[in-house]
């Protein structure tokens, strides 16, 4: 009896182990299937592509007249461009007609058609360029005032309002150098000395003469009620006393 009881216990354990194994396999298969089906449930739908149509306005272009083929009989397709395209003929005819045959008669008056209700001359293709550009008379530019510079050999003594005597250079005095120094200058509208330069004179006396004349002041020269510049020559004499 003890052996029979042991046999029954072993069979019961084997039976229980088999059911446990089958249950484990079933749970694992269900878990794997659930993991495979889970992404399908959580799939987010892609946004639908929307087509946005942008309206494009295209002006109506009138095709130009097709050029006539001369003598060759070759037909030329009309072009959509504003100006007609000329195609060279296949052969040169013997005689060429003088009339071009493509010129359209111009309306009388020389202007374009008047648009209704506006009163502005226009054309079937649109407004002429002259309407937007404006055919107004262009005023000539005002000429720049001309500056007249008068030349005189020497200014009047009465126009000199300030005279500065030159300082005799000590080196020239020791060397007994004397004589005139001739300078050229421009008397400005304000009466000041401008553009002062030497024409002739001893080199030892030139610097002293320029330094003195640069400080001279003149009364402005008036012409037609306006001051003008005057080109003049100034002579500075250096003379030693007792010579």
Task: Let me know if residue 229 belongs to a domain.
Answer: yes
Which DSSP category does 123 fall into? B
Task: Let me know if residue 208 belongs to a domain.
Answer: yes
Task: Let me know if residue 126 belongs to a domain.
Answer: no
- Please give, one letter per residue, the 3-state secondary structure of 16-83: HHHHHHHHHHHHHHHHHHHHHHHHHHCCCCCCCCCCCCCCCCCCCCCCCCCCCCCCCCCCCCCCCCCC
Contact present, 78 and 64 (Cβ < 8 Å): yes
Task: Let me know if residue 220 belongs to a domain.
Answer: yes
Q: Which structural domain, as residue segments, surrounds residue 201?
A: 149-238
Structure tokens at 47: 């946004």
CA distances from 148 to 126, 151, 224, 227, 230 (A): 55, 10, 12, 10, 8
How far apart CA 153 and CA 183 sit, in angstroms, is 11
Task: Let me know if residue 93 belongs to a domain.
Answer: no
How far apart CA 222 and CA 206 sit, in angstroms, is 31
Q: Please list the pLDDT of the chain residue by residue as tens digits (243 residues).
A: 555 555 565 666 667 777 888 888 889 888 898 888 877 766 555 555 555 555 555 445 555 566 565 554 455 555 555 555 666 667 776 676 665 555 555 555 444 444 454 545 555 555 555 544 555 566 677 666 555 555 554 555 558 899 999 999 999 999 999 999 999 999 999 999 999 999 999 999 999 999 999 999 999 988 888 999 999 999 999 998 866
**What's 228's domain CATH number?**
3.30.2420.10
How far apart CA 211 and CA 201 sit, in angstroms, is 14
Task: Let me know if residue 221 belongs to a domain.
Answer: yes
CA dihedral sign, ordered 188, 193, 199, 200: positive
Domain total of the chain: 1
Task: Let me know if residue 154 belongs to a domain.
Answer: yes
Task: Let me know if residue 64 belongs to a domain.
Answer: no
* DSSP H/E element including 172: helix 170-174
Contact present, 91 and 72 (Cβ < 8 Å): yes
């Amino acid at each position: 009896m003890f052996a029979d009881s042991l046999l029954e216990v072993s069979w019961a354990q084997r039976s229980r182990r088999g059911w446990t194994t089958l249950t484990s396999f079933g749970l694992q298969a269900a878990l794997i299937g659930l993991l495979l089906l889970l992404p399908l449930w959580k799939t987010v739908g892609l946004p639908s592509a929307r087509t946005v149509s942008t309206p494009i306005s295209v002006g109506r272009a009138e095709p130009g007249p097709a050029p006539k083929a001369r003598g060759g009989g070759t037909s030329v397709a009309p072009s959509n461009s504003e100006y007609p395209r000329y195609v060279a003929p296949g052969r040169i005819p013997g005689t060429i007609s003088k009339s071009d045959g493509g010129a359209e008669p111009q309306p009388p008056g020389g202007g374009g058609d008047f648009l209704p209700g506006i009163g502005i001359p226009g054309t079937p293709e649109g407004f002429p360029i002259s309407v937007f550009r404006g055919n107004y008379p262009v005023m000539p530019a005002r000429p720049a005032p001309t500056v007249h510079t008068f030349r005189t050999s020497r200014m009047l003594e009465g126009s000199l309002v300030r005279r500065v005597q030159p300082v005799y250079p000590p080196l020239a005095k020791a060397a007994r150098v004397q004589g005139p120094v001739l300078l050229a200058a421009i008397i400005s509208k304000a009466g000041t000395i401008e553009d002062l330069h030497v024409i002739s004179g001893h080199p030892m006396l030139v610097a002293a003469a320029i330094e003195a004349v640069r400080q001279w002041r003149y009364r402005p020269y008036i012409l037609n009620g306006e001051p003008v510049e005057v080109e003049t020559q100034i002579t500075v004499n250096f003379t030693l006393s007792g010579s």
